[in-house]
């Protein structure tokens, strides 16, 4: 039964990821990314990770994507014929090398997965994944990375404002 739910959600996630990459409009890419985040939340629900699914919707599809949309609209991107990324002739070698890198990483992951001893599943603590355990680890063990991430988001938003500011001479 889970596969009947998983496969359509996964197929929709792949299609939306392709829309994110190949869409010519930044707003269209951002909207596709929001849909992708919602599909990922559906996958998390299928894995019985409801807390992670709620975080996916609230934090990523909600707050961070609103910030992305704000920055995209603030930058007021126009279609310009002189932008460098519209010329794809020079990117062929980079694309091939990136493809080989991704295939090598996938090969390594699959070989590690197949060589692992799957006869004994790993023991998981009873409190693993609960809200209390996530909050405790977030504000004790991982407080520095949490604060660094918030500072980086603030710096990125200030940088976008500086870039979007028009020069008055």
User: What percent of the chain is modeled with pLDDT above 90?
Assistant: 23
Determine, yes or no, domain membership for 117.
Answer: no
Same domain, 1 and 73: yes
Same structural domain, 1 and 66: yes
Could you give the number of structural domains in the chain?
2
d(C-alpha 128, C-alpha 134), whole Å: 8
Question: Alpha helix (H) ranges present in the chain?
Answer: 2-22, 26-46, 50-55, 65-75, 92-115, 131-139, 143-164
- Could you tell me the residue range of the domain that residue 144 belongs to? 130-169
Among residues 77, 101, 118, the one where a domain terminates is 77
Q: Is residue 24 part of a domain?
A: yes
Q: Do 44 and 56 contact (CB within 8 A), yes or no?
A: yes
| This prediction's pTM | 0.57
**149 in a structural domain:** yes
**Distance between CA atoms of residues 157 and 71, nearest Å:** 7
How many angstroms separate the CA atoms of 12 and 135, rounded?
A: 32
Q: Are residues 73 and 134 in the same domain?
A: no
Would residue 10 count as lying in a domain?
yes
Residues 71, 8: one domain? yes
Residue 120 lies in a domain: no
Q: What is the mean pLDDT of residues 12-28?
A: 90
86 domain residue, yes or no? no
Would 112 be classed as within a structural domain? no
pLDDT at 169 over 50: no
Question: Which run of H or of E encompasses 84?
Answer: none
**Per-residue pLDDT tens digits for 84-140:** 455 556 677 878 888 899 898 888 888 877 776 666 767 777 777 777 888 888 889
Residues 72 and 136 in one domain: no
Within a domain: 62: yes
CATH number for 27:
1.20.120.1200
C-alpha distances (whole Å) from 108 to each of 97, 99, 100, 118 are 17, 14, 12, 17
């Amino acid at each position: 039964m889970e596969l009947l739910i998983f496969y359509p959600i996964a197929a929709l996630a792949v299609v939306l990821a392709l829309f994110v990459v190949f869409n010519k409009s930044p707003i269209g890419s951002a909207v596709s990314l929001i849909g992708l985040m919602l599909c990922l939340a559906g996958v998390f629900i299928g894995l019985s990770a409801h807390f992670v699914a709620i975080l996916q919707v609230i934090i990523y599809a909600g707050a961070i994507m609103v910030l992305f949309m704000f920055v995209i609209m603030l930058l007021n991107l126009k279609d310009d014929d002189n932008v460098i990324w519209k010329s794809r002739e020079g990117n062929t070698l980079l694309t091939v090398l990136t493809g080989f890198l991704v295939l090598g990483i996938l090969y390594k992951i699959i070989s590690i997965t197949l060589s692992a001893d799957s006869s004994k599943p790993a023991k998981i603590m009873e409190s693993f994944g609960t809200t209390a355990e996530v909050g405790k680890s977030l504000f004790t063990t991982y407080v520095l990375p949490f604060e660094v991430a918030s500072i980086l988001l603030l710096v990125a938003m200030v940088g976008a404002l500086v870039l979007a500011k028009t020069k008055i001479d």
